[in-house]
A and B are shown apart, each in its own frame.
Chain A
Amino acid sequence: MDVSDSVLDHLRHVAALPDLSGTRYELESEIGRGGMGVVYAARDRQLDRRVALKVLDSALAGEAQLIARLEHPAIVPIYETGELPDGRAFYAMKLVAGARLDHYLAGSPSLGERLRVIRRVGEALAFAHTRGTIHRDLKPQNVMVGEFGEVYVMDWGVAAIAGTPAFRAPEASLDQRSDIYALGALLEFMLIAPGSSAAPPALRAIAAKAMSADPAARYPVAAALLADIDRFQEGRAVEAWSEPLWHRLRRFGSHNAVLLWLLAAYAIVKFALFFLRTR
């Protein structure tokens, strides 16, 4: 029998759709394709709400249980895990309305806003690390920014297979420091986004330190990276960067601008009065 082109494509599509009979979900549409499976929008008939359903190619449902126990504003909550009639594992999670990070950057957010996003991601990482969970595949496609500016980190615990080489640490076994690497790569990604002005060298240095080839040279914990970003935003010296003297003076100048101007005003007043008097 001969399978025509149109039938072939039809079958490739239709037999790939998850069969949700027997579950409480109703398939709506495909949202995207991730590391280990496809994400669909679906409707939970029982609770009458829309959810995101991630259907895994192969049975690695164990991760879902681990992630379900993490409760953090930046970690997408998992509602349920299960198995489809065709044997595939799936999990239902909160349907996040928002933009993926690469799309979010297209809106040219300010540096402060971008750093805020990095901070949220870093906090989520720090939280997960203290609970013993590693993300392993952190990249822009796994970060979403909601309509109110909420930040979500998704696809936890997925072993990066083909992965995204630019965000994947060089070492073979992945641990917390690999997540730090990815966080640095994320920062770098946000700094060189099109439409943004030149990236401050201090921030580039922070990203570079996080992305050191030697894991021991990176920040030991996510909180340390965030602390350096804090220092940058407060106009203080950053741990990752040994800045040239003139830059240090400039920074000191701009950070203490008001005070320096006031002192200058005092000096000017004094000098002016003195010379006017003695004339």
Chain B
Amino acid sequence: MGGPHGQFPSTQLSLLEAATAGLPNDALERVIALYWKPVYRFIRIKFRKDNEDAKDLTQSFFTTALERDFFVRFDPAKASFRTYLRMAVERFAANQHAAANRQKRGGEVTFEPVEEQAVTTESPEQAFEREWQRQLFALAIEDLRVLCEESGKQIQFQIFDAYDLAGGERPSYAELAARHGIAETSVTNYLAWARRTLRGFVNDRLRGVTSGERELREEMRRLWM
């Protein structure tokens, strides 16, 4: 599952720039990496598919629906790319659903298996955006980890991981300082550096899936709390 992380160009082109520069594969990679899980989750909730069906649909969406002029047809004035893609998923899945149903007609009575999923209070659209945010950060965190490994900043990542990525209760700065044998001020500085860098990676990835400055700014405003 999931797309390759790949080697991303150091300067992230916006989506339209990439498309018009004739690098559709590059843009496609970035889109898939970010959107695979959100699309999967969206299809599962909205169309009540089981795990396997949803996976298949997601895969076929990306392979068939994302041909070259998918990007060109996108009009940033109408909606964000995220919304545009989600609507395309809806159309695609609805068509598949209708086609599948047409096959079933002819007197057969089939009971659609009742999906037992975790009860979600959020709508499919909200789930889609949430999952998208989650993936965005997951990829950016991975970028950060790779950077730290390659530049010998392992301890910075460890501190960041221990504090900001902590599931339950967060350790205090003093504890972290003691654990790694550094000063408390270093903990503060490392965290600040990690967050700053993470922010940069998130914004870079965001730039890669938006059409330009305006959409980027709006998505940033939506994303950062």
Is the C-beta of A4 less than 8 angstroms from some C-beta in chain B?
yes
CB < 8 Å neighbour of B167 from A6, A12, A15, A57: A6
Looking at chain B's contact residues, is the secondary structure mostly helix, strand, loop, or mixed?
A: helix
Chain A contacts for B217, CB-based, 8 A? 57-58, 161
Please determine whether B192 and A19 come into contact, CB atoms closer than 8 angstroms.
Answer: yes
Please determine whether B195 and A14 come into contact, CB atoms closer than 8 angstroms.
Answer: yes
CB distance from B52 to the nearest CB of A (A): 21
CB < 8 Å neighbour of A3 from B141, B213, B224, B225: B141
Give 1 or 0 for each of A217-252: 1 = CB within 8 Å of chain B CB.
Answer: 000000000000000000000000000000000000
Please determine whether B138 and A15 come into contact, CB atoms closer than 8 angstroms.
Answer: no
Once A and B bind, how many residue pairs between them come within 8 Å at the CB atom?
A: 64
CB < 8 Å neighbour of B223 from A12, A14, A87: A12
Chain A contacts for B138, CB-based, 8 A? 1-3
Looking at chain A's contact residues, is the secondary structure mostly helix, strand, loop, or mixed?
A: loop
Please determine whether A16 and B196 come into contact, CB atoms closer than 8 angstroms.
Answer: no
Please determine whether A11 and B198 come into contact, CB atoms closer than 8 angstroms.
Answer: yes
Please determine whether B224 and A16 come into contact, CB atoms closer than 8 angstroms.
Answer: yes
Chain A contacts for B133, CB-based, 8 A? 8, 12
Please determine whether A7 and B164 come into contact, CB atoms closer than 8 angstroms.
Answer: yes
Chain A contacts for B223, CB-based, 8 A? 12
Give 1 or 0 for each of A12-38: 1 = CB within 8 Å of chain B CB.
Answer: 111111010100000000000000000
Segment 146-161 of A: residues with Cβ below 8 Å from B: 161
Is the C-beta of B137 less than 8 angstroms from some C-beta in chain A?
yes
Chain B contacts for A48, CB-based, 8 A? none
Chain A contacts for B134, CB-based, 8 A? 2-3, 8
14 A-B pairs besides A1-B138, A7-B165, A161-B214 with CB distance below 8 A are A1-B141, A1-B142, A2-B138, A3-B165, A5-B130, A7-B164, A8-B137, A9-B225, A11-B198, A15-B199, A15-B224, A19-B196, A21-B192, A57-B221
13 A-B interface contacts by CB (under 8 A): A2-B138, A3-B134, A7-B165, A8-B134, A8-B137, A15-B198, A16-B225, A57-B221, A86-B196, A86-B199, A86-B200, A87-B200, A161-B217
